[in-house]
Amino acid sequence: MSDHRTPPTTPIPSNFLRNIIERDLQQGLYATKHHAGSPGDARHHAAGPLDPARIRTRFPPEPNGYLHIGHAKSICLNFGLARDYGGVCHMRFDDTNPEKESQEFVDSILDAVSWLGFGWHSELGGQSQDHLYFASNYFDTMYAAAEFLIQGGHAYVDEQTPEQIRAGRGTLTEAGTDSPYRNRSRAENLARFRAMRDGAFEDGAMVLRARIDMAAPNINLRDPAIYRIRRAHHHNTGNRWCIYPMYTFAHPIEDALEGITHSICTLEFEDQRPFYDWLLTRLSESITPPITTPEGTELPALLTAPLPRQYEFARLNLSYVVTSKRKLKALVDDGHVQGWDDPRLPTLVGLRRRGYTPESIQLFCERIGVSKADSWIDYSSLEIALRDDLDAKAARCMAVLDPVELVLGNWAEIYSAEHREPCSAPSHPAHPEMGQRAFTLGPRLWIERDDFMEAPSKGYHRLYPGNKVRLKYGFVVECTGCEKDASGQIVRVLANIVPDTRSGTPGAENIKVKGVITWVGADDGVAAEVRLFDRLYTQAQPEAGGADHLASLNPNSKRVVQGWVEPSLAQAPAGSAFQFERLGYFVADRLDHQPGLKAVFNRTTTLRDSWGK
């Protein structure tokens, strides 16, 4: 769990949201407010300690899928602002849509946020608190708020069909028309709404609508629905309710109840902001007699100034992936990938399995920044952040992914047939404290098939008959030829050791070669399954022009090869990251790699951007 007092490790570039928060803090907007952590605590103990200036943000996912890289932007933003300004970020589930939500998704979301390095625990005013909330825990209060609107003349039960309601809403250029139910008495509306709650009507028979203005230029203000009848089992409240609040009604109330100061969402909610403000303003006005919520608080006392304010920022659009839980779910459910944690998916569990570190994702989110202008970020930016993070951390080792045997013909003459030459190398060239790795060189080794050419092309400096190359950390060898099978496939490359050229000996200085190749000893190398991933789509914007993203799925996005890795990797813990020299960054698969039993690695990314070549 992150400590909200931890200063940011790198200077954070400013953005428009930081400017707003700094202005608000300077104006003392939140200086004396008694912020409650939840409707269940300090708001009901108004005599608690005085809070210093605090901002409160929230991350409010709907538990209808696994989080993706787009959510990471929102998480880093909301939790990051709270951390940097000594505030709190609430972890809140927006679970108002029972059919699509589940405990599995709740659990996976909590896991993902923690993994990314953020927590919802705070120590404020000497009080230790977990800021984990569920919109569904406020259903009673939301219901009371709806009755409050009805009693104030601000809501009515509309019994028109959904088609009639849609038709009555008007268009961008035409005003809407009033529902025939719009002017029913408050008492009649209240009775109808209570009957809705008590299950007297079929699903969809009627809705509760806010009563605002059917001629408003903003269509969202043309009497939006705020409650609907839906007999569905809810993961938290079970079958207790047959009516559920609409998201646009629920969200502002959740924010207000929790004392959120800055409610930050993506740009598509910009047109909802007037309703957000309308609703909270109405709920903060007095009516007689007041309404008492189930917790015993009178509305509108629950909503005290300053009310939360909504701010919008541009969502992350990342090339070569889709960022929509619904579409990701379809990829999983229809078997296009092997689960939510498939390393090709931009889900946080997928990225984690692929070998992405929380730090690399945070770095990426810092670099892309926050603005109000919609844009596309190239997938390679994510990979660059990953390389920048892993370069300093990942232990080096040698591996061969497309193996062909190399036989050193004069081994027995120079050493003896049984002799093995011990080799060692630093685990990291810049971090001696990471130690050394040990392996041996013998007469048979594995090299990459493309490190040999029978007839070399121009500029090729690796193995070809007559050429000398250095076996990295070993000695120089001179290629003498190759052996082929009946089909003409090369099965063995042949070479001789050039005496007195061992790395680290004086003789090594006396010979200059242009090529250095990596290798794995055939005696002590460890067989490994290596999964090579590529972009999931062939198109940078799989949905451009309304296209179906499934049409541009890359059929070659996953390839599994059998390779060889250095012996030091046999005991690598699952989840550990490596740089395979010359090949890229790899991670021991979190689930399938078993130290000492079965080596399974995923390629996280290549060493350089090779996409498009």
In the region spanning residues 247 to 306, those forming contacts with ligand ATP, defined by CB under 6 A, are 265-266
Q: Does 323 bind ligand ATP (CB under 6 A)?
A: yes
* Site map (CB under 6 A) of ligand ATP, residues 39-78, x = contact: ---------------------xxx-------xx-xx----
User: Which neighbouring-strand residues pair with 68?
Assistant: 347
> Where do we find the tokens 């005696």?
523
Catalytic (active site) residue 62:
yes
Shortest gap between Cβ of 547 and ligand ATP (angstroms)?
Answer: 18
Q: What gap in Å lies between CA 248 and CA 252, rounded to an integer?
A: 7
Nearer to ligand ATP, 214 or 260 (CB): 260
Nearer to ligand ATP, 269 or 519 (CB): 269
- Answer for the pair 549, 542: CB distance below 8 angstroms, yes or no: yes
Q: How many residues contact ligand ATP, by CB under 6 A?
A: 15
Nearer to ligand ATP, 316 or 390 (CB): 316
Phi, psi angle pair for 279, to nearest 5°: -60, -50
- Answer for the pair 247, 95: CB distance below 8 angstroms, yes or no: no
Shortest gap between Cβ of 318 and ligand ATP (angstroms)?
Answer: 8
Binding-site member from 281, 286, 292, 324 for ligand ATP (CB under 6 A): 324
Q: Does 325 bind ligand ATP (CB under 6 A)?
A: yes
Nearest to 536 by CA among 316, 322, 384, 317: 322
Q: Does 444 bind ligand ATP (CB under 6 A)?
A: no
Q: What gap in Å lies between CA 378 and CA 437, rounded to an integer?
A: 36
Phi, psi angle pair for 547, to nearest 5°: -65, 155
Q: What gap in Å lies between CA 4 and CA 119, rounded to an integer?
A: 9
Catalytic (active site) residue 315:
yes
Catalytic (active site) residue 282:
no
Shortest gap between Cβ of 76 and ligand ATP (angstroms)?
Answer: 10
Shortest gap between Cβ of 611 and ligand ATP (angstroms)?
Answer: 21
| Residue range at the interface with ligand ATP (CB under 6 A); choices 147-155, 320-328, 448-456, 590-598 | 320-328
Q: Does 543 bind ligand ATP (CB under 6 A)?
A: no
- Answer for the pair 152, 190: CB distance below 8 angstroms, yes or no: no
Shortest gap between Cβ of 334 and ligand ATP (angstroms)?
Answer: 17
- Answer for the pair 604, 588: CB distance below 8 angstroms, yes or no: no
List CB contacts of 143: < 8 A, sequence separation 6 or more: 197, 243, 245
Binding-site member from 33, 100, 315, 492 for ligand ATP (CB under 6 A): 315
| Residue least distant from ligand ATP (Cβ) | 70
List CB contacts of 301: < 8 A, sequence separation 6 or more: 290
Q: Which amino acid is at 39?
A: P
Nearer to ligand ATP, 74 or 579 (CB): 74
- Answer for the pair 54, 124: CB distance below 8 angstroms, yes or no: yes
In the region spanning residues 506 to 535, those forming contacts with ligand ATP, defined by CB under 6 A, are none
Q: What is the dihedral of CA 125, 127, 132, 136, to 10 degrees?
A: -90
Q: Within 10 Å of residue 27's Cβ, how many Cβ atoms?
A: 9
Shortest gap between Cβ of 545 and ligand ATP (angstroms)?
Answer: 20
Nearer to ligand ATP, 318 or 583 (CB): 318
Site residues, ligand ATP (CB under 6 A) = 60-62, 70-71, 73-74, 265-266, 315-316, 323-326
* Active-site residue list: 62, 315, 325
